[in-house]
Amino acid sequence: MSTDKRRALLGMVLIGVALAILPFIIGKGLGNSWVRVLDFALLYVMLALGLNIVVGFAGLLDLGYIAFYAVGAYLYALLASPHFGLHWPVWAVLPLGALVAGLFGVLLGAPTLRLRGDYLAIVTLGFGEIVRIFINNLNAPVNITNGPQGISQIDPVRIAGVPLSKPLEIFGLTLPSVYLYYYLFLGLTLLVVFVSIRLEDSRIGRAWVAIREDEIAAKACGIDTRNVKLLAFAMGATFGGVAGGLFAGFQEFVSPESFGLMESIMVLCMVVLGGMGHIPGVILGGLLLAILPEALRHGAVPMQQAAFGRVLLDPESLRMLLFGLALIAVMLYRPAGLWPEARRKREFSEKAK
Protein backbone atom coordinates (compact mmCIF):
# COMPACT_ATOMS: atom_id res chain seq x y z
CA MET A 1 0.00 0.00 0.00
CA SER A 2 1.40 3.37 -0.99
CA THR A 3 1.68 6.16 1.57
CA ASP A 4 -0.98 8.18 -0.23
CA LYS A 5 -3.51 5.40 0.01
CA ARG A 6 -2.55 4.74 3.62
CA ARG A 7 -2.98 8.40 4.45
CA ALA A 8 -6.39 8.51 2.76
CA LEU A 9 -7.46 5.40 4.67
CA LEU A 10 -6.25 6.88 7.94
CA GLY A 11 -8.15 10.09 7.20
CA MET A 12 -11.32 8.16 6.52
CA VAL A 13 -10.99 6.16 9.73
CA LEU A 14 -10.45 9.37 11.72
CA ILE A 15 -13.48 11.03 10.12
CA GLY A 16 -15.50 7.89 10.79
CA VAL A 17 -14.55 7.85 14.47
CA ALA A 18 -15.24 11.59 14.76
CA LEU A 19 -18.68 11.19 13.19
CA ALA A 20 -19.43 8.23 15.44
CA ILE A 21 -18.65 10.04 18.70
CA LEU A 22 -20.00 13.42 17.55
CA PRO A 23 -23.45 13.05 19.17
CA PHE A 24 -21.81 12.22 22.51
CA ILE A 25 -19.64 15.32 22.40
CA ILE A 26 -22.48 17.57 21.32
CA GLY A 27 -25.01 15.92 23.60
CA LYS A 28 -22.76 16.27 26.67
CA GLY A 29 -21.50 19.73 25.76
CA LEU A 30 -24.61 21.47 24.47
CA GLY A 31 -27.50 19.19 25.32
CA ASN A 32 -29.55 16.69 23.40
CA SER A 33 -31.63 19.33 21.63
CA TRP A 34 -28.51 20.06 19.59
CA VAL A 35 -28.24 16.44 18.56
CA ARG A 36 -31.77 16.84 17.27
CA VAL A 37 -30.63 19.87 15.27
CA LEU A 38 -27.84 17.70 13.90
CA ASP A 39 -30.40 15.06 12.87
CA PHE A 40 -32.33 17.65 10.93
CA ALA A 41 -29.12 18.94 9.41
CA LEU A 42 -28.42 15.45 8.06
CA LEU A 43 -31.89 15.31 6.53
CA TYR A 44 -31.20 18.64 4.85
CA VAL A 45 -27.87 17.37 3.57
CA MET A 46 -29.70 14.45 1.94
CA LEU A 47 -32.19 16.84 0.38
CA ALA A 48 -29.46 19.20 -0.81
CA LEU A 49 -27.54 16.32 -2.39
CA GLY A 50 -30.70 15.21 -4.15
CA LEU A 51 -31.38 18.67 -5.50
CA ASN A 52 -27.72 18.94 -6.43
CA ILE A 53 -28.26 16.20 -9.00
CA VAL A 54 -30.97 18.22 -10.70
CA VAL A 55 -29.56 21.73 -10.31
CA GLY A 56 -25.86 21.16 -9.86
CA PHE A 57 -25.15 18.28 -12.24
CA ALA A 58 -27.84 18.64 -14.89
CA GLY A 59 -28.27 22.40 -14.55
CA LEU A 60 -32.08 22.25 -14.39
CA LEU A 61 -33.33 24.93 -12.01
CA ASP A 62 -35.95 23.30 -9.80
CA LEU A 63 -37.88 25.51 -7.38
CA GLY A 64 -40.41 22.89 -6.34
CA TYR A 65 -38.08 20.26 -5.00
CA ILE A 66 -39.75 20.11 -1.61
CA ALA A 67 -42.79 18.50 -3.27
CA PHE A 68 -40.87 15.21 -3.45
CA TYR A 69 -39.95 15.50 0.21
CA ALA A 70 -43.65 16.01 0.87
CA VAL A 71 -44.59 12.97 -1.20
CA GLY A 72 -42.15 10.79 0.71
CA ALA A 73 -43.26 12.15 4.08
CA TYR A 74 -46.98 11.81 3.40
CA LEU A 75 -46.62 8.34 1.96
CA TYR A 76 -44.89 7.26 5.16
CA ALA A 77 -47.52 9.06 7.24
CA LEU A 78 -50.43 7.40 5.43
CA LEU A 79 -48.98 3.90 5.44
CA ALA A 80 -47.67 3.91 9.01
CA SER A 81 -50.06 5.74 11.30
CA PRO A 82 -53.49 5.29 12.88
CA HIS A 83 -54.92 7.65 10.22
CA PHE A 84 -55.83 4.72 7.95
CA GLY A 85 -54.98 2.12 10.56
CA LEU A 86 -52.07 0.91 8.45
CA HIS A 87 -48.73 0.12 10.06
CA TRP A 88 -46.36 -0.90 7.31
CA PRO A 89 -42.76 -1.58 8.29
CA VAL A 90 -40.06 0.95 7.44
CA TRP A 91 -38.22 -1.30 5.02
CA ALA A 92 -41.38 -1.43 2.89
CA VAL A 93 -42.41 2.22 3.20
CA LEU A 94 -39.08 3.90 2.52
CA PRO A 95 -38.33 2.17 -0.81
CA LEU A 96 -41.95 2.67 -1.86
CA GLY A 97 -41.65 6.36 -0.93
CA ALA A 98 -38.49 6.61 -3.01
CA LEU A 99 -40.23 4.94 -5.94
CA VAL A 100 -43.37 7.08 -5.78
CA ALA A 101 -41.31 10.27 -5.39
CA GLY A 102 -39.25 9.17 -8.39
CA LEU A 103 -42.47 8.71 -10.38
CA PHE A 104 -43.52 12.20 -9.38
CA GLY A 105 -40.14 13.38 -10.59
CA VAL A 106 -40.81 11.88 -14.01
CA LEU A 107 -44.32 13.31 -13.90
CA LEU A 108 -42.84 16.76 -13.40
CA GLY A 109 -39.98 16.19 -15.79
CA ALA A 110 -41.93 14.88 -18.77
CA PRO A 111 -43.96 17.97 -19.65
CA THR A 112 -41.13 20.35 -18.87
CA LEU A 113 -38.42 18.79 -21.02
CA ARG A 114 -38.65 21.47 -23.66
CA LEU A 115 -38.44 24.30 -21.18
CA ARG A 116 -35.25 25.77 -19.94
CA GLY A 117 -33.96 28.29 -17.47
CA ASP A 118 -36.52 30.51 -15.91
CA TYR A 119 -39.53 28.89 -17.50
CA LEU A 120 -38.50 25.63 -15.95
CA ALA A 121 -37.99 27.39 -12.62
CA ILE A 122 -41.48 28.82 -12.60
CA VAL A 123 -43.14 25.57 -13.70
CA THR A 124 -41.39 23.56 -11.02
CA LEU A 125 -42.36 26.24 -8.52
CA GLY A 126 -45.98 25.90 -9.64
CA PHE A 127 -45.75 22.12 -9.36
CA GLY A 128 -44.49 22.40 -5.79
CA GLU A 129 -47.32 24.73 -4.88
CA ILE A 130 -49.91 22.46 -6.53
CA VAL A 131 -48.71 19.50 -4.49
CA ARG A 132 -48.83 21.55 -1.30
CA ILE A 133 -52.31 22.95 -2.01
CA PHE A 134 -53.63 19.47 -2.72
CA ILE A 135 -52.16 18.13 0.51
CA ASN A 136 -53.69 21.07 2.33
CA ASN A 137 -57.16 20.49 0.91
CA LEU A 138 -57.55 16.76 0.40
CA ASN A 139 -59.48 16.31 3.63
CA ALA A 140 -62.88 16.69 2.00
CA PRO A 141 -65.02 15.08 0.71
CA VAL A 142 -62.77 12.06 1.29
CA ASN A 143 -60.29 12.59 4.08
CA ILE A 144 -56.96 11.51 2.64
CA THR A 145 -54.38 13.91 4.06
CA ASN A 146 -56.29 15.31 7.04
CA GLY A 147 -55.83 18.82 5.62
CA PRO A 148 -54.05 21.60 7.45
CA GLN A 149 -54.10 19.70 10.76
CA GLY A 150 -51.65 17.20 9.36
CA ILE A 151 -51.22 13.60 10.41
CA SER A 152 -49.97 12.81 13.91
CA GLN A 153 -49.01 9.71 15.88
CA ILE A 154 -46.98 8.39 12.98
CA ASP A 155 -45.10 5.20 13.78
CA PRO A 156 -41.46 5.83 14.65
CA VAL A 157 -38.79 4.17 12.57
CA ARG A 158 -38.27 0.60 13.81
CA ILE A 159 -35.17 -1.36 13.03
CA ALA A 160 -35.30 -5.08 13.81
CA GLY A 161 -38.31 -4.41 16.00
CA VAL A 162 -36.53 -1.75 18.07
CA PRO A 163 -38.30 1.62 17.85
CA LEU A 164 -35.84 4.49 17.53
CA SER A 165 -38.17 6.77 19.45
CA LYS A 166 -37.19 5.25 22.83
CA PRO A 167 -33.77 5.23 24.48
CA LEU A 168 -31.86 2.05 23.82
CA GLU A 169 -29.56 0.35 26.28
CA ILE A 170 -26.61 -1.31 24.68
CA PHE A 171 -23.37 -2.49 26.33
CA GLY A 172 -24.30 -0.53 29.45
CA LEU A 173 -24.64 2.69 27.43
CA THR A 174 -28.00 4.39 27.19
CA LEU A 175 -28.52 5.93 23.78
CA PRO A 176 -31.32 8.51 23.66
CA SER A 177 -33.68 8.50 20.68
CA VAL A 178 -31.99 11.43 18.93
CA TYR A 179 -28.67 9.53 18.99
CA LEU A 180 -30.27 6.50 17.37
CA TYR A 181 -31.78 8.62 14.62
CA TYR A 182 -28.44 10.32 14.21
CA TYR A 183 -26.75 7.02 13.39
CA LEU A 184 -29.56 6.02 11.04
CA PHE A 185 -29.48 9.35 9.21
CA LEU A 186 -25.69 9.39 9.15
CA GLY A 187 -25.64 5.97 7.55
CA LEU A 188 -28.17 6.96 4.91
CA THR A 189 -26.46 10.30 4.29
CA LEU A 190 -23.18 8.49 3.70
CA LEU A 191 -25.00 6.18 1.30
CA VAL A 192 -26.43 9.21 -0.54
CA VAL A 193 -22.97 10.79 -0.66
CA PHE A 194 -21.53 7.56 -2.03
CA VAL A 195 -24.24 7.28 -4.68
CA SER A 196 -23.73 10.94 -5.61
CA ILE A 197 -19.98 10.52 -6.03
CA ARG A 198 -20.40 7.38 -8.11
CA LEU A 199 -23.07 9.06 -10.23
CA GLU A 200 -20.89 12.08 -10.82
CA ASP A 201 -18.09 9.94 -12.22
CA SER A 202 -20.39 7.73 -14.25
CA ARG A 203 -21.40 7.91 -17.88
CA ILE A 204 -24.73 9.40 -16.81
CA GLY A 205 -23.05 11.97 -14.60
CA ARG A 206 -20.88 13.15 -17.45
CA ALA A 207 -23.94 13.29 -19.68
CA TRP A 208 -25.63 15.52 -17.10
CA VAL A 209 -22.68 17.88 -17.01
CA ALA A 210 -22.63 17.95 -20.80
CA ILE A 211 -26.30 18.94 -20.85
CA ARG A 212 -25.66 21.60 -18.23
CA GLU A 213 -22.84 23.11 -20.23
CA ASP A 214 -24.52 22.99 -23.64
CA GLU A 215 -27.63 21.01 -24.35
CA ILE A 216 -27.46 21.24 -28.12
CA ALA A 217 -23.84 20.13 -28.22
CA ALA A 218 -24.66 17.27 -25.86
CA LYS A 219 -27.44 16.15 -28.15
CA ALA A 220 -25.11 16.33 -31.13
CA CYS A 221 -22.67 14.09 -29.26
CA GLY A 222 -25.29 11.38 -29.15
CA ILE A 223 -26.66 11.87 -25.64
CA ASP A 224 -30.33 11.05 -25.38
CA THR A 225 -31.08 14.31 -23.62
CA ARG A 226 -34.71 13.46 -22.98
CA ASN A 227 -34.06 10.29 -21.01
CA VAL A 228 -31.00 11.66 -19.29
CA LYS A 229 -32.88 14.73 -18.08
CA LEU A 230 -35.79 12.61 -16.91
CA LEU A 231 -33.35 10.44 -15.06
CA ALA A 232 -31.93 13.51 -13.30
CA PHE A 233 -35.40 14.51 -12.14
CA ALA A 234 -36.18 10.98 -11.05
CA MET A 235 -32.90 10.49 -9.16
CA GLY A 236 -33.18 13.83 -7.39
CA ALA A 237 -36.79 13.13 -6.48
CA THR A 238 -35.88 9.68 -5.14
CA PHE A 239 -33.42 11.18 -2.67
CA GLY A 240 -36.07 13.69 -1.63
CA GLY A 241 -38.61 10.93 -1.13
CA VAL A 242 -36.31 8.94 1.14
CA ALA A 243 -35.49 12.04 3.19
CA GLY A 244 -39.21 12.80 3.44
CA GLY A 245 -40.03 9.35 4.76
CA LEU A 246 -37.29 9.64 7.39
CA PHE A 247 -38.60 13.07 8.34
CA ALA A 248 -42.10 11.69 8.92
CA GLY A 249 -40.79 8.81 11.05
CA PHE A 250 -38.47 11.08 13.04
CA GLN A 251 -40.96 13.86 13.67
CA GLU A 252 -43.94 11.46 14.05
CA PHE A 253 -46.06 14.27 12.66
CA VAL A 254 -46.45 15.86 9.23
CA SER A 255 -48.43 18.89 8.13
CA PRO A 256 -48.54 20.88 4.89
CA GLU A 257 -46.74 23.75 6.62
CA SER A 258 -43.42 21.92 6.41
CA PHE A 259 -43.52 21.83 2.63
CA GLY A 260 -43.92 25.44 1.54
CA LEU A 261 -42.03 27.23 -1.17
CA MET A 262 -39.71 28.68 1.46
CA GLU A 263 -38.40 25.17 2.14
CA SER A 264 -37.68 24.60 -1.55
CA ILE A 265 -35.81 27.87 -1.62
CA MET A 266 -33.92 26.93 1.52
CA VAL A 267 -32.68 23.70 -0.06
CA LEU A 268 -31.78 25.51 -3.27
CA CYS A 269 -29.81 28.03 -1.22
CA MET A 270 -27.90 25.19 0.42
CA VAL A 271 -26.87 23.91 -2.99
CA VAL A 272 -25.97 27.29 -4.44
CA LEU A 273 -24.30 28.71 -1.34
CA GLY A 274 -22.20 25.61 -0.86
CA GLY A 275 -21.12 25.39 -4.48
CA MET A 276 -23.34 23.91 -7.14
CA GLY A 277 -22.36 20.52 -8.46
CA HIS A 278 -19.59 20.10 -5.89
CA ILE A 279 -20.52 17.40 -3.39
CA PRO A 280 -18.37 18.57 -0.42
CA GLY A 281 -19.57 22.13 -1.03
CA VAL A 282 -23.21 21.07 -1.03
CA ILE A 283 -22.71 19.13 2.22
CA LEU A 284 -21.11 22.20 3.76
CA GLY A 285 -23.96 24.41 2.53
CA GLY A 286 -26.55 22.03 3.94
CA LEU A 287 -24.88 21.81 7.35
CA LEU A 288 -24.30 25.55 7.58
CA LEU A 289 -27.81 26.61 6.64
CA ALA A 290 -29.39 23.98 8.85
CA ILE A 291 -27.28 24.63 11.94
CA LEU A 292 -26.42 28.34 11.87
CA PRO A 293 -30.03 29.60 12.01
CA GLU A 294 -30.64 27.33 15.00
CA ALA A 295 -27.56 28.71 16.70
CA LEU A 296 -28.87 32.21 16.05
CA ARG A 297 -32.24 31.30 17.45
CA HIS A 298 -30.65 30.07 20.66
CA GLY A 299 -28.05 32.79 20.92
CA ALA A 300 -30.24 35.77 20.01
CA VAL A 301 -32.28 36.12 23.18
CA PRO A 302 -29.46 36.04 25.75
CA MET A 303 -27.27 38.24 23.57
CA GLN A 304 -29.93 40.89 23.23
CA GLN A 305 -30.65 40.77 26.93
CA ALA A 306 -26.99 41.28 27.66
CA ALA A 307 -26.62 44.13 25.18
CA PHE A 308 -29.89 46.05 25.60
CA GLY A 309 -31.37 44.63 28.77
CA ARG A 310 -34.44 43.37 26.89
CA VAL A 311 -35.40 41.45 23.77
CA LEU A 312 -35.79 43.91 20.91
CA LEU A 313 -36.25 41.50 18.02
CA ASP A 314 -37.86 38.15 18.33
CA PRO A 315 -35.30 35.48 17.46
CA GLU A 316 -37.33 34.00 14.61
CA SER A 317 -37.39 37.23 12.60
CA LEU A 318 -33.78 38.00 13.46
CA ARG A 319 -32.86 34.55 12.19
CA MET A 320 -34.65 35.11 8.88
CA LEU A 321 -33.25 38.63 8.57
CA LEU A 322 -29.68 37.45 8.99
CA PHE A 323 -30.37 34.53 6.67
CA GLY A 324 -31.51 36.91 3.94
CA LEU A 325 -28.52 39.18 4.46
CA ALA A 326 -26.16 36.22 4.38
CA LEU A 327 -27.60 35.05 1.06
CA ILE A 328 -27.00 38.46 -0.46
CA ALA A 329 -23.52 38.83 1.00
CA VAL A 330 -22.28 35.39 -0.04
CA MET A 331 -23.55 35.81 -3.59
CA LEU A 332 -21.97 39.25 -3.89
CA TYR A 333 -18.57 38.15 -2.68
CA ARG A 334 -18.49 34.49 -3.71
CA PRO A 335 -20.93 34.03 -6.59
CA ALA A 336 -19.67 30.49 -7.24
CA GLY A 337 -20.49 29.42 -3.68
CA LEU A 338 -18.42 28.92 -0.56
CA TRP A 339 -16.63 25.80 -1.76
CA PRO A 340 -16.94 25.63 -5.53
CA GLU A 341 -15.97 22.87 -7.87
CA ALA A 342 -12.55 23.34 -9.43
CA ARG A 343 -13.95 23.39 -12.96
CA ARG A 344 -16.56 25.98 -12.06
CA LYS A 345 -14.00 28.14 -10.29
CA ARG A 346 -11.91 28.15 -13.45
CA GLU A 347 -14.93 29.18 -15.50
CA PHE A 348 -15.57 32.05 -13.17
CA SER A 349 -12.07 33.41 -13.24
CA GLU A 350 -12.02 33.10 -17.03
CA LYS A 351 -15.24 35.03 -17.26
CA ALA A 352 -13.89 37.71 -14.98
CA LYS A 353 -10.96 38.38 -17.28
Partner 1 sequence: MDTFIQQIINGLVLGSIYALVALGYTMVYGILGLINFAHGEVVMIGALTALTVIKLLADSGLPGTVVVLIGLLAAVPVCMALGFTIERIAYRPLRNAPRLAPLITAIGVSIVLQQLAMIFWGRNYHAFPPILPTSSREIGGAHITDVQIVIILLAVAIMAGLMLLVNRTRLGRAMRATAENPQIAGLMGVNINVIISATFLIGSALAAVAGVMVSANYSIAHYHMGFILGLKAFTAAVLGGIGNLPGAMLGGVLLGLIESLGAGYIGDLTGGFLGSHYQDVFAFFVLILVLVFRPSGLMGEKVAERA
Q: Which residues are at the interface with partner 1 (CB under 8 A)?
A: 61, 111-112, 114-119, 121-123, 125-127, 129-130, 133-134, 136-137, 140-141, 214, 261, 265, 268-269, 272-273, 276, 313, 317, 320-321, 323-328, 331-332, 335, 351
Per DSSP, which regions of the chain are E strands? Answer: 80-81, 86-87, 151-152, 158-159, 162-163, 168-170, 173-175, 253-254
Length of the chain (residues): 353
For partner 1, the closer of residues 82 and 117 by Cβ is 117
Rounded CA gap, 271 and 333, in Å? 16
Nearer to partner 1 (CB atom), residue 68 or residue 185: 68
Nearest to 289 by CA among 42, 33, 36: 42
Cβ contact 47:58 at 8 Å = no
Comparing CA positions, the residue from 351, 342, 295, 334 lying closest to residue 318 is 295
Give the integer Cα–Cα distance in Å for 348 and 327: 19
Between 147 and 176, whose beta carbon lies closer to partner 1? 147
User: Nearer to partner 1 by C-beta: 127 or 339?
Assistant: 127
Minimum CB separation of residue 113 from partner 1 in Å reads 9
Provide the minimum distance between the beta carbon of 272 and partner 1 in the complex, in angstroms, as a whole number.
Answer: 5
Q: Which of 25, 44, 43, 21 is nearest to 34 (CA)?
A: 25
Nearer Cβ to partner 1 (328/342): 328
Residue pair 5/144 in contact (Cβ under 8 Å)? The answer is: no
Q: How far is the CB of 318 from partner 1 (least distance, A)?
A: 8
Q: Left (φ > 0), alpha (ψ -120 to 50) or beta: where does 172 sit?
A: left
The minimum distance between CB 92 and partner 1, in angstroms, equals: 30
Pick between residue 17 and residue 130 the one whose CB is nearest to partner 1.
Answer: 130
From the list 127, 41, 62, the residue with the least C-alpha distance to 265 is 62
Residue placing its CB nearer to partner 1 in the complex, 99 or 327: 327
Please report how many Cα atoms fall inside a 13 Å half-sphere around the Cα of residue 245, on the Cβ side.
28
In angstroms, give the least distance from the CB of 133 to partner 1. Answer: 5
Q: How near is the Cβ of 332 to partner 1 at its closest, in Å?
A: 6
Closest separation in Å from C-beta 163 to partner 1? 37
